[in-house]
Amino acid sequence: MKKYDVIVIGTGAGNIVTDAALDSGLKVAQIEKDKFGGTCLTKGCIPTKVMVTAADVIRNSEEVQKIGIQSQKMKIDWDVLSKRVWQKIDESKEIVEEYKKEKNLDVYQGRAFFVRDKVLKVEYNEGGVSEEITAEIIVLAAGARSRRISLEGMEETSYLTSEDIFGKAWPLKPYKSLIIVGAGAIGTEFAHAFSSFGTKVSVVQFEDRLLPKMDRDISKYLGERFADFGIDVYYNQISKKISQKDGEKILSIEDKLTGEIRELKAEEILVAAGVIPNTDLLELSNTSIQRNAQGWIRTNEFLETSVEGVYAIGDINGHGQLRHKANYEADILVHNLFPAALPPGQVAEGIKPERRFARFEYIPSVTYTYPQVSSIGLSEEEARKQAMEKGWDIRVGYHHYSSTAKGYAMGFEPGDKEDGFIKVIIDAKSKYILGVHIIGAEAGILLQPYASLLGSGRIEHLVYEEDIASEETKKARAMEYSRYLDPHKVTSITEAMTAHPALTELVMWTQYFVPMK
C-alpha cells in the first residue's frame, strides 16, 4: 500500500487544497477521471459565460435605439465563438501538464474508488488498476454530473446534456431549432444564448415557472422577457417520449394539470434536468461515509464526513452546486489544515489561526440570462413561511433601474418591459436583511455588496450534522464560539464569497494576485 499525506479526488476546487498541501511540503496524490479543472472550466460555467457574453451583446444591441444609437442587426461569428470556447476548455491540458511537473505530487488519471475506509484504488483511464493508496487526509471533490432522464424511445433517438455540448457534440453552427428540457440555471442560460444566436428555442419545464429556486417575482419577470424574445416556454410539463422523423427530433410532452399531450419538433434536444453527485463512482458502500436521502455526502460545518480525516467539498456534498461555494469550502480546509499556506498577512506569524467553519445561508448565485438574475438569502415565500417561528415582521422593498440616474442614462424608463429591479426582504424588528434578489443589467455585480455585508461582522457558529464530529470539532462546539470579520480588514474580503465567474472577482481576488510588500 502506498501512503500519502493528502489525497485529493477532483481537480476543480480540489486544486486549491492540492496547491496548499504542496506549499506545506506534503506528499500528495491527485486523482481525476475527466479533464483537469473541474466542471466549471471544462463543461460548465466558464464556457457558457463565453457564449452568454456574446449573446448579451446581441440582445443589448437590439435595445440601444432608446439612447440614440442606430445599430444594424448583429449576428454571431460561430467560428470565432467556438475558438474562444475551446481555447478556455483546453486550458485543462495545460493544468495537468503543470501538475505532472510537481516533485511532491503523484497524478492519477482515472476513477478513484474506495475498498474500505480511507483506502482507495484508481481504475486508470488507459486500463488497469493501481495498488491501494491511503492518507491521513482525504478530500472528496469529485463533483456531480448531469441528471439523465428516462424517455420512451431513447434506444433509437438520443438527446444531449451540457457535457455533450462541451464535448464531442459541439455544434458546427447554431441549431436551427432547439428544445431544452429544464429551466434552472443551465437550461435558461442555454435558452438565452442560442435564441440570441438565431435558434428557435422551446423550453419544457416540469415546474410552473422558470428558475423555480428563485423568488417568484424574479421568475415571473424573466418568463415575460423570454416571451419578448420569442422563446416558447411550456410549463407544468412531463417529458414522455423522444423520436425522430424527417431529420427532426420529436419530444412528446404531457401537461400535468390537463393531461393534454403535444409534440414539439426541433433539430436537437438538450436535457438540463439538474445534476446528481458522483458518489456512486467512489463506491462509498465499501466505507462508513454517510450520504443523505438524495445521495449527497453528509458533511458538518468543518466539511468533515462521518469518517474522520475524510472531507467533502463542492457539488458532491449537496450544500449547493456552485463553483464559488466549492472554492469557499476549499479555503476553509486550507485555513484549518494547512495554515502555513495562507496568504501573507492573513494570520500573524507563529500564531495558529482560529478554526474556520462554513455557513450556507448566504450563498450568492448569478444566472446569466438576459436580463441577468442574482440572488442571496431567502425568497419572500421562504421568509414568510419562517416568519412565525422566527418572530419576523417581513417587509419587502423594490427599486427599479429607471429610478436611478444611471438607469435612465442606460435607457430604462418607468413602466418599460426592460426595466429590471432589486427586491430586498428584511425583518422590520431587527432590521436584518433576509434576502436580496435582482433582475436586470449586471445583476451579478450589483449583488456583491450584499454578499460582502452578509458575510462579514459577527459570524455565529452554527452546527451542521451534529452526529458528525471529530475530537477537535467536539471541543470547538463546546466552546460555542463565533468569529468576527472586521469589514475594515482584508480577512473580510478573503473569506467572503463572490459569484464565479463574475467581474466581482477582479476586486475580491486582488489579494491573491498583487504581491504584498
To the question of whether residue 279 is assigned a binding role by annotation, the answer is no
Shared domain for 251 and 391, answered yes or no, is no
Shared domain for 22 and 108, answered yes or no, is yes
Structural domain count, the chain: 3
pTM strictly above 0.85: yes
Shared domain for 310 and 410, answered yes or no, is no
CATH number at residue 240: 3.50.50.60
Residue 346 has what pLDDT?
A: 58
Asked which of 272, 291, 308 is the last residue of a domain, the reply is 272
Shared domain for 162 and 111, answered yes or no, is no
To the question of whether residue 425 is assigned a binding role by annotation, the answer is no
Residue 411 placed within a domain? yes
Residue 350 placed within a domain? no
To the question of whether residue 184 is assigned a binding role by annotation, the answer is yes
CB 78 within 8 A of CB 174: yes
Q: What angle do CA 377, 380, 386 make, to 5 degrees?
A: 80
To the question of whether residue 240 is assigned a binding role by annotation, the answer is no
pLDDT (tens, 9 = 90+) of the chain, 517 residues, equals: 999 999 999 999 999 999 999 999 999 999 999 999 999 999 999 999 999 999 999 999 999 999 999 988 999 999 999 999 999 999 999 999 999 999 999 999 999 999 999 999 999 999 999 999 999 999 999 999 999 999 999 999 999 999 999 999 999 999 999 999 999 999 999 999 999 999 999 999 999 999 999 999 999 999 999 999 999 999 999 999 999 999 999 999 999 999 999 999 999 999 999 999 999 999 999 999 999 999 999 999 999 999 999 999 999 998 999 999 999 999 999 999 998 777 665 554 545 668 899 999 999 999 999 999 999 999 999 999 999 999 999 999 999 999 999 999 999 999 999 999 999 999 999 999 999 999 999 999 999 999 999 999 999 999 999 999 999 999 999 988 889 999 888 888 888 899 999 999 998 887 655 555 5
Residue 213 placed within a domain? yes
Residue 354 placed within a domain? no
C-alpha cell at 84: 474562444
Query: Which residues constitute the domain of residue 444?
Result: 364-456+496-509
To the question of whether residue 407 is assigned a binding role by annotation, the answer is no
To the question of whether residue 498 is assigned a binding role by annotation, the answer is no
Asked which of 234, 254, 272 is the last residue of a domain, the reply is 272
Shared domain for 211 and 237, answered yes or no, is yes
> What CA–CA distance (Å, rounded) separates 469 from 473?
5
Shared domain for 35 and 138, answered yes or no, is yes
To the question of whether residue 182 is assigned a binding role by annotation, the answer is yes
Residue 305 placed within a domain? yes
To the question of whether residue 189 is assigned a binding role by annotation, the answer is yes
Residue 170 placed within a domain? yes
Shared domain for 129 and 235, answered yes or no, is no
Q: Based on the number of CB atoms within 10 Å of its own CB, is 211 exposed (0-12), middle (13-18) or buried (19 or more)?
A: buried
Shared domain for 8 and 24, answered yes or no, is yes
- The torsion defined by the Cα of 438, 442, 444 and 448, in degrees rounded to 10, comes to -90
To the question of whether residue 185 is assigned a binding role by annotation, the answer is yes
Asked which of 217, 251, 272 is the last residue of a domain, the reply is 272
C-alpha cell at 352: 495558529
CATH number at residue 413: 3.30.390.30
Residue 444 placed within a domain? yes
To the question of whether residue 49 is assigned a binding role by annotation, the answer is yes
Residue 469 placed within a domain? no
Shared domain for 326 and 301, answered yes or no, is yes
